[in-house]
Amino acid sequence: MRVLISFLLLSLLPVWGATQKHDNVWTLGYGSSEVTNLVGGTNINFNVSPPDTSYVFRSMNFTYNVASVSDAQGNLLFYSDGCFIAGADNQAILNGDSINPGPLHDEYCWFGYLASQGSFFLPHPADSNLYYLIHLGLNNIEPVYGLGEYLYFTLIDRRLDGGRGGVVLKNQVLLEQWLSFGLLAGVRHANGRDWWIVCSGMESNTHYFFLLTPMDITFSHTQDHGQISLDDNGTGRNTFSPDGKWFARYDRYNHLNLFQFDRCTGRFSENYYDEIPISPDSIILTGGVEFSANSRFLYVVTNLWIHQYDLEADDIIASRQRVATWNGLLSPHPTYFFMPQRGPDGKIYISCTNSVNVLHVIHQPDLPGTACQVEQGGLKLPTYNCFSTPYFPNYRLGALPMEDCDSLSINPGIDPELSYQLFPNPFEDYLDLNLEGAHSGNYQVQLTDALGHLIIRESINHLGWDKTYRVPIRNLPQGIYFYSLQYQGKIIGSGKLVRQ
């Protein structure tokens, strides 16, 4: 059987819609104990309304760093604490260990990686079986609590290991730089297919932008913008508005920075800055920021107060009003406000700074003032949870109208002339790569076994007149293998092969 994969210009296809339920299952809590169910994992399932909470026996500890992803239908696929990646069966996936290598991994991974908002998942723009984990590696612990030095990606193929999934590329360096302690964020490109990824420099207002396309993740540009200049120590949060038009950052040192964002060019404009008042009774100076589902209201969460801004007001900063003050709730420890995240149901859920069995809930965040209905302890959890709230971009955001942004000219993506044939399948002692009609240039075929071990790496310089190139493969045991094909250093295809 011949393997034939032709990439089309996906910008011409319908954009991702409301079926993209990649954020429908949240993973929280600690590693489970044989002694008590109060310590263990919690899953929140937004596939039902109201969301269902359930106890899960698993070994992973979530503290600051928590990421999870479901398939487009809302079924949990993978989750990570920044140290390793587990599957829906709550076991580590193939080659999913040793994420973010280094001294902090070695010292703290028994309790979960420490970078707040330090990782999140993105679906591959062209292949529903591939998922990226974007993650920040911290280099050291002293003299600051953590210093982000490496921005990585790890690529997961859900077809590996009998459908459990496995890592095919791990800890691939995107950027080596002094970076803010966590605070990664992503938003759809204006074409409704690709993704902008942004991270921020440590003690600077420099922002680094990357673009995820069907080809690869590539560096795009930097931009110096805003009044961010101080060390943040991982106490805040970055996020884009659901419509992609706004970007907000809050941390205890730099307060609130609010920018407008252009999804076509990936650039910030304007800057609204506000020194957020903090209650003098605050015990821990922490907090985060989140937008309402209709993108009109911005919420800034501090230790004891929650503030709301109206982005349609003539004076956005002057529109700030306090919509909640911590009421002293114990469950069983003080439930001080910590980190907010908008759920698929449009409500905003807020974690706490202690081990407690509740999340706070903003039930109507699209409404002004106290009509937003902050309910403290509004969602009961079956196990204790501390700090952890997952970060999710808006997976459901679609394309802008062509008159607003000619996204095809900005980012044409995969050229349909990069089609190829790799055959035979099953194979015995060789594979033939047919590049008839494809662009000339450097191609590379990689073959790995089911455990992800590299078997063959064959480079081909396609000059345009030859059609087929033979890749010799001998003395391989019978079984299943996986290939990837790169063009000019970028992955343009992958698949499964059988040695008979």
Assign 3-class secondary structure to the chain.
CCEEECCCCHHHCCCCCCCCCCCCEEEEECCCCCCCCCCCEEEEECCCCCCEEEEECCCCCCCCCCEEEECCCCCEEEEECCCCEEECCCCECECCCCCCCCHHHHHHCCCCCCCCCCEEEEECCCCCCEEEEEEEEECCCCCCCCCEEEEEEEEEECCHHHHCCEEEEEEEEEEEEEECCCCCEEEECCCCCCEEEEEEECCCCEEEEEEECCCCEEEEEEEECCCCCCCCCCCCEEEECCCCCEEEEEECCCEEEEEEEECCCCEEEEEEEECCCCCCCCCCCCEEEEECCCCCEEEEEECCEEEEEECCCCCCHHHCEEEEECCCCECCCECCEEEEEECCCCCEEEEECCCEEEEEEECCCCCCHHHHCEEEEEEEEEEEECCCCCCCCCCCCCCCCCCCCCHHHHCCCCCHHHCEEEECCCECCEEEEECCCCCCEEEEEEEEECCCCEEEEEEEEECCCCCEEEEECCCCCCEEEEEEEEECCEEEEEEEEEEC
Q: 105 φ, ψ to 5°? A: -60, -45
Average pLDDT (462-477) is 80
pLDDT of residue 435: 84
**How far apart are the C-alpha atoms of 395 and 248, rounded to whole Å?**
18
Position 490 pLDDT exceeds 90: no
pLDDT tens-digit readout, 13-35? 333 444 799 999 999 999 998 77
Average pLDDT (66-83) is 97
pLDDT of residue 247: 98
Question: Where is average pLDDT lowest: 8-22, 148-162, 192-206?
Answer: 8-22
Position 123 pLDDT exceeds 90: yes
Nearest CA to 392 out of 188, 99, 89 is that of 188
Position 417 pLDDT exceeds 60: no
Which fold would CATH assign to domain 415-499? Answer: Immunoglobulin-like (2.60.40)
**pLDDT over 70, % of the chain:** 88
pLDDT of residue 453: 75
| Lookup: tokens for 153 | 């990606």
Among 88-97, 172-181, 284-293, the range of highest mean pLDDT: 88-97
Q: Which CATH architecture has domain 14-385?
A: 7 Propeller (2.130)
**How far apart are the C-alpha atoms of 157 and 164, rounded to whole Å?**
9
Are β-strands 52-56 and 255-262 bridged in parallel, bridged antiparallel, or unpaired? unpaired
- Name the band, by pLDDT with cuts 50, 70 and 90, for residue 464: low
Instruction: Scan for tokens 């955001």, then name that residue.
Output: 397
- Name the band, by pLDDT with cuts 50, 70 and 90, for residue 346: very high
pLDDT of residue 90: 96
pLDDT of residue 13: 37
Question: Where is average pLDDT lowest: 56-70, 109-123, 289-303, 435-449?
Answer: 435-449
Task: Find how far residue 417's CA is from the centre of its chain.
Answer: 31
Average pLDDT (255-260) is 96
pLDDT of residue 342: 98
pLDDT of residue 201: 87
* 184 in Cβ contact with 197 (< 8 Å): yes
Q: Where in the chain is the domain with CATH 2.60.40.3080?
A: 415-499
Position 492 pLDDT exceeds 90: no
Among 136-150, 327-341, 429-443, 445-459, the range of highest mean pLDDT: 327-341
Sequence-distant (≥ 6) Cβ neighbours of residue 376 within 8 angstroms: 324, 326, 327, 329, 335, 360
Position 178 pLDDT exceeds 80: yes
Question: Where is average pLDDT lowest: 93-102, 195-204, 392-401, 456-465?
Answer: 456-465
Higher pLDDT, 456 or 321: 321
- Name the band, by pLDDT with cuts 50, 70 and 90, for residue 324: very high
Average pLDDT (243-254) is 92
Q: Where in the chain is the domain with CATH 2.130.10.10?
A: 14-385
pLDDT tens-digit readout, 2-13? 333 333 333 333
Q: What is the mean pLDDT of the chain?
A: 86
pLDDT tens-digit readout, 27-65? 999 999 877 888 999 999 999 999 999 999 999 999 889
The single-letter code of the amino acid at 392 is F
CA distances from 377 to 116, 358, 453 (A): 22, 5, 48
CA distances from 384 to 3, 158, 193, 327, 375 (A): 49, 30, 37, 20, 19
- Name the band, by pLDDT with cuts 50, 70 and 90, for residue 142: low
Are β-strands 420-423 and 374-385 bridged in parallel, bridged antiparallel, or unpaired? unpaired
pLDDT tens-digit readout, 371-416? 999 999 999 999 999 988 999 999 999 988 866 664 333 333 444 4
pLDDT tens-digit readout, 232-246? 666 789 999 999 999
Average pLDDT (461-470) is 76
Position 1 pLDDT exceeds 50: no
The single-letter code of the amino acid at 489 is G
Instruction: Scan for tokens 């060390």, then name that residue.
Output: 231
